[in-house]
Amino acid sequence: MHSHLESAEFFFSSGETHFACRQIKEALCCYERAVELGFDANRGALQRWTCYMLLGRFEEAWQETDRTESLRRRLDPCQDHLPVHFRRVWNGQSLENRCVLVRCYHGLGDTIQFSRYIPELKKIARHVIVQCSANIASLISCIEGPDQVVSLENPPAELDFDVDIELMELPYAFRTRLATLPCRIPYVDVPGELTDSVAARLATLEISRGKPRVGVVWQSGTWNPERSISFEQISELTSVEGVNFFSLQRGAEMEGLPFGARWGAFVHAEDKEANLLRTAAAILNLDLIISVDTMAAHLAGALGKPVWTLLPFAADWRWMLDREDSPWYRSMRLYRQNRPGDWRPVIKRVARHLKGM
């Protein structure tokens, strides 16, 4: 006869199997049963948290965070030994009427998505300082709320603040539920003169005058290749006639390619002075963005531009389950893989919808 602990391990392992198949309700039942049978609740905390978020049960996710954070603050209050994006910063202190330092330790997409909380924080805090990477500082400065934006790479010798918090801890601090999710869109205000300057440049690059302009991003970060689509596959969209396709792809995929180059029906929208603020201005001059799960999708959503986001089978918790819309971005439409790694039906569906523009 199996011991309770052996049964607990069995249920946790079953939960992992269900989770991999995106059977999230079944996975959660297995995880919870494992704990009932003596499985260490802390070992499965992240899995349960992710299930709750995927199911839109945010408050139950925060209850998981309450327990794990209470333990961490007692046993491991210093996080300096961890990579910055794994660090917890907030110690649970009140943010009201305080000078709050917001540290942006995560990626660009995360920073854009959760910077929507900065105006909400400013409503209750006395002073808000945002510490972020130099490559996104100009964009953060276009968001209402920060009293000061400082560099993450070269911080001031002295920063005077009462309490600090990592940007992605703000939903937890505000105990966000679906009904209270900050969704005032747009929340990034790009200078008009920059938008006009980029508009003049894009007009010279159009292939089909007066036709819809569609920006495309097909490669996400290298840390999760499942999010990316090959250029050959995304190029199938160019079978749709009467569309100006602009590449908004950034990073290593563009190295060695001349700015303004054409690849078939694609035109590179960026220029030699490209930065996130200019990318935002380019997005504002396009009619639609089609992007894999990466920074450009978040930026388009934050700007309130129509964006079709292409998601892998095991999509991130923020996109929840089975939805074609996103509570985070009103202008976003989600296109999901039905089978791991199979982008063909996704591309065909996107192309069909493009023809109806």
- Tokens 């893989």 -> residue: 337
Closest listed residue to residue 206, CA positions, set 277, 259, 262, 250: 262
Joined tokens for residue 46:
């992240």
Map out the domains of the chain as residue ranges. Answer: 4-74, 84-180, 192-355
Q: pLDDT for 148-196, tens place per residue?
A: 999 999 988 889 999 999 999 999 999 999 999 998 999 999 999 999 9
Inter-residue contact 14 to 39 (CB < 8 Å): no
From residue 141, give the alpha-carbon distance in Å to each of 147, 163, 188, 254, 270: 9, 21, 9, 27, 21
Strand partners, 149: 130
- The contacts of residue 207 (CB under 8 Å, 6+ apart) are 244, 262, 265, 267
Q: Which amino acid is at 276?
A: L
Q: How far apart are CA 167 and CA 89, in angstroms?
A: 9
Q: pLDDT for 260-281, tens place per residue?
A: 556 667 888 877 667 899 999 9
Domain at 4-74, CATH class = mainly alpha
Inter-residue contact 27 to 51 (CB < 8 Å): yes
Cis check: omega of the bond before 186, within 30 degrees of 0: yes
Rounded to two decimals, the pTM is: 0.93
SS3 76: coil
Q: pLDDT for 152-161, tens place per residue?
A: 999 888 899 9
Domain 4-74 and domain 84-180 have a common topology: no
- The contacts of residue 96 (CB under 8 Å, 6+ apart) are 124, 125
User: How large is the average pLDDT for residues 320-326?
Assistant: 96
What DSSP string runs through 146-204? -SEEEESSS--S----SEEEEGGGHHHHTT--GGG----S------HHHHHHHHHHHHH
Which pLDDT score, from 0 to 100, does residue 1 have? 40
What DSSP string runs through 303-334? HT--EEEEE-TT--GGG-SS-SEETTEEEEEE
Strand partners, 128: 100
Measured in whole angstroms, how far is the alpha carbon of residue 23 from the centre of its chain? Answer: 23
Higher pLDDT, 274 or 224: 224
Helices (runs of H) and strands (runs of E) counted in the chain: 13, 12
- Tokens 């660090």 -> residue: 87
Strands 262-263 and 288-292: unpaired
User: How large is the average pLDDT for residues 307-327?
Assistant: 97
Query: Average pLDDT over the chain, rounded to whole?
Result: 91
Domain at 84-180, CATH class = alpha beta
Which pLDDT score, from 0 to 100, does residue 250 have? 78
Strand partners, 289: 215, 307
Please check whether the domain covering 192-355 is classified as CATH 3.20.20.10. no
